[in-house]
Amino acid sequence: MTDARQRGTSPELPTGKPFEVIVTAIRPAARDTKIYTLARADGSTLPASTPGAHIGVLFPNGLLRDYSLIAPEECPRDYTICVKRETSEGGGSSYLHSKISIGDSLLINPPKNNFPLNETAPYTILIAGGIGITPIYAMLTRLQAIGRDWELHYACQTRADAAFLFELESLANVHLHFDDESGGRFLPVVKIVANAAPQSHLYCCGPTPMLATFEAAAAAEKRPAEEIHIEYFKAKFDADLSGGFTVRLARSGQEFPVPPGKTILEVLRDAGISVVSSCEAGVCGACETILLEGTADHRDAILSEQERQDGKSMMICCSGAVSDFLVLDL
């Protein structure tokens, strides 16, 4: 889940230790979609979060999956995530839906935001598809609270699949689109982007085809990069598996050749080196690593073009090297 603009990556990449929370409530949000409320066992305050942020849930089988917070706060007593049961994402959502009950504990990573909201934009256009509504819903509630102008375009296959439908139907600036009620036609993303007023900020989160259409439309309209915000759930580019370069770990001095067919992350993992990772597709930012020397072949969906040119960090789960040598701050 990632935004390629306005991330504000610095050489000091965010870190945070996992901590335990208790599931205090579970309720349905839509077909195959549930809302989970999480809190510390002692009721103490949780780390702050902002619209667009996500937490990572660490499952007993070793999976780490990211879920957007739908009600971010500065001093929260609980976190709320909305999870659709998916059969193709490795089992995280299935585990939550079938194994987790109220009172169970989960191990989570602190919030991280790769998809931040610009609260000063003169106008904000939000576009969501399916479960992509989760970070978008947090944004619209924040914009509503601070009195900013915005509109939402939300598409689902059917009404039964639409999370937060009751809350959204009461808002005049929400435009709902259901494929089965539109003769199979998809949300007119190209038209929405083309009609966007100058200086509007546009946010899109949803299925990969929707995101690709959104990006192409924004490029065709020559929208400034800082006004376009995207969050991917799946890989945007194929990982670099060409190999043929060497990685040095600055802290230990160890060097590892990266052969064809392997990513940097896989090589380090095979060597017994523990590196934080989650999606392994370049969309979550969990494996972002400071790059001290060398030139990366960036294949992620997170870094902006300026960040790629600056060359201060890279996602080692999918990105490779243009140079023969990379030095990582590991």
Given pLDDT bands bounded at 50, 70 and 90, which one contains residue 59? confident
* For residues 194-199, average pLDDT: 96
CATH 3.40.50.80 in the chain: give the residue spans.
124-231
Which pLDDT score is estimated for 256?
A: 95
The stretches of 147-262 forming alpha helices (DSSP H) are: 165-169, 189-194, 208-220
User: Please, where in the chain does CATH 3.10.20.30 lie?
Assistant: 245-328
User: Domain 124-231, what architecture?
Assistant: 3-Layer(aba) Sandwich (3.40)
Mean pLDDT of the chain: 90
The string of pLDDT tens digits covering residues 142-191 is 999 999 999 999 999 999 999 999 999 999 999 999 999 988 789 999 99
- The CATH 2.40.30.10 portion of the chain extends over 19-112
Q: Which of these, 128, 122, 133, 136, lies nearest to 52 by C-alpha position?
A: 136
Question: With bands split at pLDDT 50, 70 and 90, how would you rate the model's confidence at 90?
Answer: low
CA torsion, points 234, 236, 237, 243, in degrees to nearest 10? -50
pLDDT of 306 > 50? The answer is: yes
Statement: residue 88 has pLDDT above 90? no
Residue 26 corresponds to which amino acid? I
pTM score of the predicted model: 0.81
Residue 6, pLDDT score? 41
Q: What is the pLDDT of residues 13-57, one digit of tens each?
A: 445 789 999 999 999 999 999 999 999 999 999 999 999 999 999
Q: Report pLDDT digits (tens) over 249-287.
A: 999 999 999 999 999 999 999 999 988 887 788 888 889
Has domain 19-112 been given CATH number 2.20.25.10?
no
How far apart CA 114 and CA 176 sit, in angstroms, is 26
* pLDDT range class, residue 91, cuts 50, 70, 90: confident
How high is the pLDDT of residue 13? 45
Per-residue pLDDT, 80: 97
What per-residue confidence (pLDDT) applies to 60? 84
Strands 64-68 vs 79-84: parallel, antiparallel or unpaired: unpaired
Helices and strands (H and E) in the chain: how many: 7, 18
Q: In this predicted model, what pLDDT tens digit does every residue of 98-140 receive, in sequence order? A: 999 999 999 999 999 989 999 999 999 999 999 999 999 999 9
Residues 143/119, Cβ–Cβ less than 8 Å: yes
* 302, 3 Cβ separation under 8 angstroms: yes
pLDDT level of residue 305 (50, 70, 90 thresholds): confident
C-alpha 203/C-alpha 9 separation (Å) is: 19
Determine the length of the chain: 330
Q: Which CATH class is domain 245-328?
A: alpha beta
Q: Nearest-CA neighbor of 140 among 155, 156, 123, 162?
A: 123
